[in-house]
Structure 1
Amino acid sequence: MSKSVYDKITIKGLEVFANHGVYPEENRLGQKFVVNAVLYVDTRAAGLSDDLDLSVNYGTVCHQITDFLTANTYKLIERVAEELARHILINNPLVHEIDVEIEKPGAPIGLPLETVSVKIHRGWHDVAIALGSNMGDSKKFLDDAVEKVGQLPDTKVIKVATYITTKPYGGVEQDDFLNSAMTIRTMLTPTELLDRLHDIEREAGRERIIHWGPRTLDLDILLYDDLVMDTEDLTIPHIEMHLRDFVLKPLAEIAPWLRHPVYGKTVAQMLSELK
């Protein structure tokens, strides 16, 4: 879901004395920072039940912010904001997304200044990935890939589909493929995730020699939230996913409701039409 459909818990003006800055005296002497945060959550269950366990305890989050800023030292407030957002998201499962603003009222620039701040938005992203192999021990390559994806930073494997044997796609004569799909939640950006998937492919001995040719391991990003992007290195949604039954079959097993953000059809609908 996008942040527009979540409820918000707002923390405004939390003052923390901490040691962050480029200059040595900032790290040694410290200064005041002001933190503003918006937590994107679903408060419906807590609102109906009056049960704190079903909500995010903003008092606890305030202490987490204070403890984190005082326990660490960074040169840039950009880094402070980045690491703080990650810390809150990891330690509060009910928080789906977060806005973090770090204000630095005492910024040493030698000019009259009320404050300077950095504000970022971070969150968990729902991603679908296709897996394939037709060289060597294909099952082991897929098993290892699932394990390694789950070990990526700030990434959780949600579901993995049954492995299926399929005929090659693209007209190159080669052995049958073992295919599957998986869904994950990650804080990695699309390009960061792509780079990590390419690392996993290389570790499996993947060589990009023949287009649509045999491979030890193939990992493709199919969907990333409802993002539509097209760059030299990455197209999301995957440009041919709606044409490939070896992609749609396993994905329909674990997430038939996922909707293609361009065609507006669910995975189940695309598979049905392809048949």
Structure 2
Amino acid sequence: MDCIKIRQLEVFAYHGCNEEEKINGQKFYVDADLFTDVRTPGMSDDLEETVNYSKACKFINKFMTENRFDLIEAVAEQTARGLLKEFPKIKEVELTINKPNAPIKLPFGNVAVTVRRKWSRAYLSIGSNMGDKEEYLNQAIEGLYDDENCRVSIVSKFIETEPYGPVEQDNFLNGCVEIETLYSPKELLRKVNIIELEAGRTREIHWGPRTLDIDIILFDNEIVNLPDLKIPHIEMHKRLFVLEPLNQIAPYAVHPIFNKTVSQLLEDLQPQNKCSGCGGCSFRQQND
């Protein structure tokens, strides 16, 4: 991706753990790499089609002077996120906060922290089989819309599917959502768990009914293998109720382990299961 580089932007601010730093302040120097499309404005010569680096510099200065943090790690993290939220054309940012006057009682040249942050693309599966199912799915989508660290890009149509397991329960309503997010996979998991709790989700019966179920299906091209989080979702390739709505919005998204697109995974599954997603399938619902 193309890049706009800003070097040695001087900002006087009040960040630091020591009381003297909080009172007297000091100079910081900021280096920023703003990853964005330069080709389009390069061809049009139109300022509106690029990231205005003057405005970006003013934003960094304003953000760092109006906020106070103990750690330059926090300065870097929050300023990077602020830039990504403020300037939609910035897709990724690498930010270095230099602190040449850090309180170190030894000769040194500089102390700096560098972070690289971006908008990641994630796909979520949503499902409900209690109460007003459609309302619960819409509540999940609204919860994502209302979070400044998420941007909802596309929502699939909802499909009805039969439940799996020995527990007698109503049919499910399922869909998929594409989002851009500043969260890491673990942070996004915490977010979707909060949305589930707000919808009254409980986990008392394995494979039992639930007001709202949200699973992270894909997250960029990442492979995550943690005790409480597996990405790609370990059974997405077996589930029509995931693949059919996902195919509506992201047929060319690639499974990073199988190296197959969503449409190819759906083709592999459909000959074995004659179901169009209209209520005739009986695949296992999302993991508790």
Q: Any idea what SS the aligned residue of 1:175 has? A: coil
Deviations 1:144-200 (Å, cap 9, x if unpaired)? Answer: 111112212311111111111111135544321111111111101111111111111
Residue of structure 2 equivalent to 1:273: 268
The one-letter amino acid paired with 1:39 is L
Alignment of 1:69-88 (within 5 A): 69-88=64-83
User: How far, CA to CA, are the matches of 1:171 and 1:85 in structure 2?
Assistant: 49
Check 1:117–1:178 CA distance in 2 against 1; reply closer, same or farther (3 A cut): same
Q: Any idea what SS the aligned residue of 1:36 has? A: strand
User: How far, CA to CA, are the matches of 2:28 and 2:155 in structure 1?
Assistant: 44
The one-letter amino acid paired with 1:47 is G
Residue of structure 2 equivalent to 1:161: 156
The CA deviation at 1:219 is: 0.3
Q: Any idea what SS the aligned residue of 1:53 has? A: helix
Aligned residues: 270
2:175 matches 1:188:
no
2:202 matches 1:207:
yes
Q: Any idea what SS the aligned residue of 2:89 has? A: coil
The one-letter amino acid paired with 1:81 is A
2:172 matches 1:177:
yes
2:95 matches 1:100:
yes
2:50 matches 1:55:
yes
Structure 1: any 5+ residue segments left out of the alignment? 1-5
The CA deviation at 1:213 is: 2.1
* More moved, 122-131 vs 263-272: 263-272
The one-letter amino acid paired with 1:188 is Y
User: How far, CA to CA, are the matches of 1:49 and 1:169 in structure 2?
Assistant: 55
Residue of structure 2 equivalent to 1:244: 239
* More moved, 119-128 vs 9-18: 9-18
Residue of structure 2 equivalent to 1:260: 255
Residue of structure 1 equivalent to 2:228: 233
The CA deviation at 1:81 is: 0.6
- Structure 2 length normalisation: TM-score? 0.90
- Structure 1 length normalisation: TM-score? 0.94
Alignment of 1:131-150 (within 5 A): 131-150=126-145
The CA deviation at 1:212 is: 2.1
User: How far, CA to CA, are the matches of 1:262 and 1:229 in structure 2?
Assistant: 11
Alignment of 1:115-134 (within 5 A): 115-134=110-129
Structure 2: any 5+ residue segments left out of the alignment? 271-288
How many percent of aligned residue pairs carry the same amino acid?
Answer: 49
Deviations 1:119-158 (Å, cap 9, x if unpaired)? Answer: 1111111110001111122111111111112212311111
Residue of structure 1 equivalent to 2:38: 43
The one-letter amino acid paired with 1:84 is T
Q: Any idea what SS the aligned residue of 1:63 has? A: helix
Deviations 1:18-61 (Å, cap 9, x if unpaired)? Answer: 11111122121111101011111121111222222211121221
Q: Any idea what SS the aligned residue of 1:200 has? A: helix
Q: Any idea what SS the aligned residue of 1:42 has? A: coil
Deviations 1:214-257 (Å, cap 9, x if unpaired)? Answer: 21111000011111111001000000111100001111111212
Q: Any idea what SS the aligned residue of 2:130 has? A: coil
Deviations 1:68-87 (Å, cap 9, x if unpaired)? Answer: 21222211111111111011
User: How far, CA to CA, are the matches of 1:34 and 1:118 in structure 2?
Assistant: 11
The one-letter amino acid paired with 2:216 is I
User: How far, CA to CA, are the matches of 1:195 and 1:236 in structure 2?
Assistant: 15
User: How far, CA to CA, are the matches of 2:54 and 2:199 in structure 1?
Assistant: 46
